[in-house]
Chain A
Amino acid sequence: MTELERRYGPMVELSQLAEYFHAAQRAVRAVLEREGIPILQFGSTTVVPLRAVETAFGLDDLTGDEDAYRRARYDMQARLHADGTPKTMERHLADVRARGPRWRAVIEQAKPARPVSS
């Protein structure tokens, strides 16, 4: 769970909301703004607090703890192969390391550029 979610609860992407409402993102954004719901921009992604959307529109069926679900899936894939057979610790770590470079690149990209020394 990110700090953002700890403070404001789970987030939902504006594009997902628009898909849910079968409406254009611009129209959904206009309604959210009218309701005073905070709209947050991260790069090209726009998210809004799910709880605020639910409160404003009474959409209880949108709730769900996505992170708890991801964690449960993670715990399971750490122990089991896709076919349900047990996975060794070595194999789990090999899987972790195979996924590692992709996320290390994300972290590196987020680091502030170091000044070039002369």
Chain B
Amino acid sequence: MAVTETIVDELFFGLTLDDWKVPVLGAILATLPDPVAVSEAIMAQAVDLETRYSVHQPPLSRPDALIAAAALREGRILITRDRDFHCVEGLRVLDSHGFDPSRASLIASRAPVFAGPSDRPCCRVLWQSEG
């Protein structure tokens, strides 16, 4: 498992060093490999995703576009509780609802699903805009 440099930034955003969450986040992130750096290729793909899914309701946010692009470019499975990634075509997503980090085997027992625009109203404009 790994996080990107942008995920680290998002987790700590708005916190000051004396916030109780900082050492807790630090301890969790210290158990993971060094954060994945955002390459030029990831950045370019994030720009594409941000543009393509700007018509989704709600639009894919820039931080989420960067996360999705990193997962796609690096061939990784995105482990998330966040529903905002459901529309990103080709992204493999593993739902981490109820995931307890102390029981990693639980997450390994779940199967990722391919994301992509659905027939729900939130994605409908994507179908229309892409013909």
Contacts and interface: CB of A to CB of B under 8 A. Distances in A.
Q: State the majority secondary structure of interface residues on A.
A: helix
Contacts of A74: 10, 13-14, 63
Interface string A81-118: 00000000110110011011011101111111000000
Contacts of A71: 10
Interface residues of B, number: 33
Interface residues of A, number: 36
Given A79-B62, A100-B8, A43 B21 contact: no
A71 B13 CA distance: 8
A73 B8 contact: no
A92 B43 CA distance: 11
Interface in A8-46: 11, 13, 42-43, 45-46
Interface string B1-42: 000011011101111011111111111111000000010000
A42 B63 contact: no
A47 B61 contact: no
A89 B30 contact: no
Contacts of B62: 75, 78-79, 89, 92
Contacts of B6: 93, 96
Given A42-B23, A70-B13, A106-B25, 11 more contacts: A43-B23, A70-B14, A99-B12, A103-B9, A103-B26, A106-B22, A106-B23, A106-B26, A110-B23, A110-B30, A111-B30
